[in-house]
Amino acid sequence: MRAAGLALLVACAVCATAQAWATFRMAGTQDPRVAVRFVEATSGDSAGMVEVWAENRLGGPVEVSLAPESGSGIAGDPPLPMRTLLRGFERKRVARLNAQPDRRLRLHVVPGTPDAQPRDVEYAYPLQTSQLRIEQGWGGAYSHRDAQNRHAVDFAAEIGTPVIAARAGTVMEVEADFAQAGLDAEIYAGRANFVRIVHDDGTMALYAHLDANGVLVRVGQRVRKGQAIGLSGNTGFTAGPHLHFTVQANRGMRLESIPFRMFGPQGILRFTEPK
């Protein structure tokens, strides 16, 4: 009997630990850009609480919000919902929460810092060619209507044309594993190969639809204006080979494209503000 009692005690201790670990879970599929981990604090001033640690895998700042998937907020330091900024590659404790059984949390990630102050600079033409054909400009009806793409430009470019940095910065994010293309937005929207470069003023340039094996830089790398960063292609949501270029800023958990000036192969390019 003694032995059985001991076994029961051990089993219960294991079960209690497992319950504590299961207090919080992430809802849905994990965002590959920011890893979240829960740590049950057993000592120190967080004892009995669950620490939430977040690790930014991008080479530039991201703003994250963490909120319960449903139901009421969660008490803690800070309480949920909450928002915070993570620097490039930063790993930090973002909250410590009062344990609650079986709560699911949702993480929302937006690249960039909300205090970006766009400087008025002249961007270089992002393709190493003297040819210039604009397939779609600012506010284009086909796919430049939403806030993220309103000031985007599609430059026609043969597959394999070198893509160059229009402005100096740090490579914060790359997608290099996507080889397909198509016109089904549900499958292909947002899934092209791309390079995202963060500038010193906090704005970011996006170079998209790069060729399979067409990303020539790595996350965290510093690039100078005019440096080759990729090869243009036709990956993702696209009807033909082109480079999608836009400058974006995080405007408080929301990406917005912003107007830019550019010097093209034959002089200043003039884009008109969409109505």
Question: Does position 150 bind Zn ion by CB under 5 A?
Answer: no
> Binders of Zn ion among 192-251, rule CB under 5 A?
244
State the nearest-atom distance from the C-beta of 153 to Zn ion, in Å. 7
Query: Which of 150, 244 has the CB closer to Zn ion?
Result: 244
- Measured CA to CA, the distance from residue 209 to residue 235 in angstroms comes to 5
98: helix, coil or strand? strand
User: Which region holds residue 119: left if phi is over 0, alpha if psi is between -120 and 50, else beta?
Assistant: beta
Question: Does position 135 bind Zn ion by CB under 5 A?
Answer: no
Query: Which of 86, 163 has the CB closer to Zn ion?
Result: 163
- Measured CA to CA, the distance from residue 118 to residue 88 in angstroms comes to 19
Q: Which residues 6+ apart lie within 8 Å of 16 measured at CB?
A: none
* DSSP designation for 59: S
State the nearest-atom distance from the C-beta of 187 to Zn ion, in Å. 17
Q: Is the dihedral of CA 144, 147, 151, 156 positive or negative?
A: negative
Phi and psi at residue 155, in whole multiples of 5°? -100, 125
State the nearest-atom distance from the C-beta of 88 to Zn ion, in Å. 26
Question: Does position 51 bind Zn ion by CB under 5 A?
Answer: no
State the nearest-atom distance from the C-beta of 14 to Zn ion, in Å. 54
State the nearest-atom distance from the C-beta of 49 to Zn ion, in Å. 46
Question: Does position 154 bind Zn ion by CB under 5 A?
Answer: yes
Query: Which of 63, 154 has the CB closer to Zn ion?
Result: 154
The footprint of Zn ion (CB under 5 A) covers: 152, 154, 244
